[in-house]
A and B are shown apart, each in its own frame.
Chain A
């Protein structure tokens, strides 16, 4: 049981390049999330999904796209990378219960845009 796995862990991109951050979970969780964390700041929600085929914008979706074709996978696509997208990205998943839901995070992906 690997939990939430995200790749790559580190990446340097040039301005204007594109890339995909991969995220997969093996806990059969309905809910998956992508967050970014800027230095000294709290986690900000980029996109989330409540199930396969359903995605929705979070607080800071501009410059990103997601898809959810399976329950397990929730990739985050960066198109035309900009320095403002330099950040640490976390994928997370959870399973809704009536008494709340524990959330599980991936290890994080450090992205630098130069």
Chain B
């Protein structure tokens, strides 16, 4: 069993829908990261969080440390949100990350 599990693996939505991607992990962590990978490969860090909730534009990330679970929400989804979303955890500050396998999101117009 992977230390970081994401669901769903694939997600197709219509423009404007509210989207949720889930991440569960099985180890103690110091931080959890949400990353975005666009077609063509570039990877961008969206959020790093160790507790609570963070918001950036239409993106919201939450984490429940007790339940070892995080969610990434996208409000009012748009075709340009189509990408692979990756959850990753670090066990100690500055340490290497363990990655989930990613969620392929496709938003249709």
A contact residues vs B (CB 8 Å cutoff): 30-31, 33, 40-45, 48, 50, 58, 88, 90, 92, 94-105, 107-108, 110
Binding stretch for chain A, among B12-20, B36-44, B70-78: B36-44
- Within the complex, the shortest CB–CB distance from A11 to chain B, in Å, comes to 14
Q: Does B45 contact A (CB under 8 A)?
A: yes
- Please report the C-alpha to C-alpha distance between residue A7 and residue B2 in the assembled complex, in whole angstroms: 31
- Please report the C-alpha to C-alpha distance between residue A94 and residue B45 in the assembled complex, in whole angstroms: 11
| Closest CB pairs A-B (n = 9) | A96-B94, A100-B31, A108-B41, A105-B43, A42-B101, A42-B99, A43-B99, A100-B48, A102-B45
Contacts of A104 in B (CB 8 A): 45
Size bin of chain B's contact surface: 20 to 34
Given the contacts A41-B101, A101-B31, A107-B41, A58 and B96 also touching, CB distance less than 8 Å:
yes
B48–A108 contact, CB under 8 A?
no
**Residue-by-residue, is B30-66 near A (CB-CB < 8 Å gives 1, otherwise 0)?**
1101010000011111001110000000000000000
Name the CB-closest residue of B to A100: B31
Q: Secondary structure at chain B's binding surface: helix, strand, loop or mixed?
A: strand
Given the contacts A96-B93, A99-B93, A42 and B100 also touching, CB distance less than 8 Å:
yes
Residue from B50, B90, B102 within 8 A of A42 (CB atoms) = B102
Name the CB-closest residue of B to A104: B45
- Please report the C-alpha to C-alpha distance between residue A88 and residue B35 in the assembled complex, in whole angstroms: 17
A42–B31 contact, CB under 8 A?
no
- Please report the C-alpha to C-alpha distance between residue A105 and residue B30 in the assembled complex, in whole angstroms: 20
**Residue-by-residue, is B74-96 near A (CB-CB < 8 Å gives 1, otherwise 0)?**
00000000000010101001101
A90–B101 contact, CB under 8 A?
no
Contacts of A92 in B (CB 8 A): 43
A97–B93 contact, CB under 8 A?
yes
User: Can you name 14 extra interface pairs (CB under 8 A) apart from A97-B94, A103-B33, A108-B43?
Assistant: A31-B94, A42-B4, A42-B102, A43-B97, A90-B43, A96-B94, A100-B30, A100-B31, A100-B48, A100-B49, A100-B93, A101-B48, A101-B94, A103-B35
Given the contacts A94-B94, A108-B41, A100 and B50 also touching, CB distance less than 8 Å:
yes
